[in-house]
A and B are shown apart, each in its own frame.
Chain A
Amino acid sequence: MKKILAVLAVAVASVQMAFADHDVVTRDESRLPVAARETIKKNFPDAKISYIKIEKDFFQSANYETTLTNGMEIDFNSKGDWIEVDCKRQAVPAGFIPATVKEYVETNFPTVLIVKIERGRKGYSIEMNNGLDADFDTAGMFLRLDD
């Protein structure tokens, strides 16, 4: 009986550990990976970090959502590579946009700004200030357009 109880207690504890991990909200820049800090410094030289939200999943790999005082949001993975840049209504700094994507937008929508860019395993995805979304593959080649 004691053994069974012990096993149950361990099971409960591990379930609690897996679920109970709150996201961490901090303003401490030093908790960001170095690569992420350098990316911010390079692309937003004047910006200050308002807060950083660190999301930890089951496997303890972190996701850093960094919000700047001007409202822009840059997400990094645990290695410090950016995965999303959301500049709300302003243009995403050119350093984040692959050349082919930039070329596509300039050709097809010459007056439009790219306000958001995501980078994932399948490729890139951008959002423009005319409300249109566009998807590109990992090489930056155009795939589709959504509204």
Chain B
Amino acid sequence: MRLIHYANRNLSVLLLVLMGVWGTLFYFTIIDEVMDETDDTLENYREIVVGKILDDPDILMTEDRILHSYALRPLSLDEALDYKVRFYDSEVYIETEDEYEPVRVMRSCFLAPDDRFYELTLRISTVERDDMVRAIFWYLLVLYVVLLLCVTVGTRMVLKKVFVPLQRLLAWFDRVTPGKPVPPLDNETKVSEFAKLNKAAAAMSFRSQKAYEEQKRFIENASHELQTPLAIARGKLELLAESEGLTERHLQDIDELYRTLGRAVKLNKSLLLLSRIDNGQYPDSKPLDLGSIAKETLADLLDIYESRRIQASIEDHAPCQVEMNESLAHVLLTNLLKNAIVHNEVGGRLRLVLGKASIEVANSGETPLDAEKIFRRFYRADLSKKESTGLGLAIVKSICDLYGIRLSYACKEGMHRFSLKFAKP
């Protein structure tokens, strides 16, 4: 849920409740007042009628029969003694209209000049009052809905405007990628919190960018600096092996040492290659037919690893034309194919499938590998293989990342399948 929707929803619910309560209260207060007004009118009316009667007792004998708005009835003394004024709603049949009309009735009692108590019944039509009450109700309802809509839309607009710097900052975050220069953050804001956030985000990105660069440089420098001592150590070992008076045992140790150093040199070379790929030190690229490179490489590798008796098959569907650096293309395919030979069973199968924009290398193998880890640096599924550096597939991954090639691994039908999917030009 977006922040703006969340805030807007909460505000709207609060307003809905508050305004609802307020509107209801207001409605009932108004209605109460309107009702009271009718009763006040009746009281005034009564005063006038009684005043007239006291002034001219002859009226007692008559009755307003036309409008039926008042009626007089003599009361016995007992009735009069505990008489209470009453107001109530009722209906009156109107002959001219042939329908019942709602009325408010007031009954009261007074002592007439002839020393008798009379009950005075007054009626007043409430049709107009009821109309007004209905009108008030609808007006209030419409007002409520319109006000609520306005406030909701209004707050939404205000919130949207308020959070513009935040949106811009988030968009900027999306553009920040490790290893690439930090894009400029153009996010002017008067709000101090957002300004602080901007500053912190920019500072943090520059710091991590710097750390990343330094780390890369360190690996490169370390690999570079290690090359010479390793070469010297290997040279010295070669010299030592040729010196006289060495026993068989010494020679064995020297051989072991020499091979270990060889592995260190390989590791070092791979690391250097990796950091060079990551640093983009292979800028020149040209269109290459990866299919033929793959076939050549495979033939060479099969010669080298003849002892593994790999049964290779090639499915050539279409020429695979890709634009990339030539040496990286060689490294990529060599690593993949070598991986498929070295980590294959002795006498296992190897299948190379060449498509228009895809290459798949498959080799025999039953147990699925951990797809998450195999492309990590120094991850080795089989620790018993001493020649393996654990960097081969990491290099493959780095090259793929550099050119936007989709690299995937799957284990199906007893084959480990590594497939490359090239972006269509």
| Partner-B contacts on A (CB < 8 A) | 8, 11-12, 15-16, 19-20, 22-27, 48-51, 53, 67-71, 88
Contact = CB atoms under 8 A, between A and B. Distances in A.
Given A15-B29, A27-B111, A50-B110, A70 B54 contact: yes
B83 A27 contact: yes
B36 A8 contact: no
B113 interface: yes
B contact face: mostly helix, strand, loop, or mixed: helix
A50 B112 contact: yes
B85 interface: yes
B350 interface: no
Contacts of B28: 12
Interface of B: 21, 25, 28-29, 32-33, 36, 39, 43, 46-47, 50-51, 54-55, 80, 83, 85, 87, 108-113, 115, 117
Given A67-B54, A69-B54, A16 B111 contact: no
Contact of B112 (A8, A15, A25, A69): A69
B403 to A, nearest CB: 62
27 contacts: A8-B21, A8-B25, A12-B28, A15-B29, A16-B32, A19-B33, A19-B36, A20-B36, A22-B39, A23-B43, A24-B85, A25-B43, A25-B46, A25-B85, A26-B83, A27-B110, A27-B117, A48-B115, A50-B54, A51-B50, A51-B108, A51-B110, A51-B111, A53-B47, A67-B50, A67-B51, A69-B115
A50 B28 CA distance: 36
Contacts of A20: 32, 36
Given A22-B85, A53-B43, 17 more contacts: A8-B25, A11-B25, A12-B28, A16-B32, A20-B36, A24-B85, A25-B43, A27-B117, A50-B50, A51-B108, A51-B111, A67-B50, A67-B54, A69-B111, A69-B115, A70-B54, A70-B113
Contacts of A27: 80, 83, 109-111, 117
Contacts of B33: 19
A138 B224 CA distance: 117
Contacts, number: 60
B115 to A, nearest CB: 7
Contacts of A12: 25, 28
A135 to B, nearest CB: 25
Contacts of B43: 23, 25, 53
A16 B112 CA distance: 35
A24 B46 CA distance: 13
A27 B117 CA distance: 9
A68 B46 CA distance: 15
A49 B115 CA distance: 10
B131 to A, nearest CB: 22
A19 B25 CA distance: 14
A96 B389 CA distance: 125
Q: Which of the listed residues A20, A24, A50 has the most CB atoms from chain B within 10 Å of its own CB?
A: A50
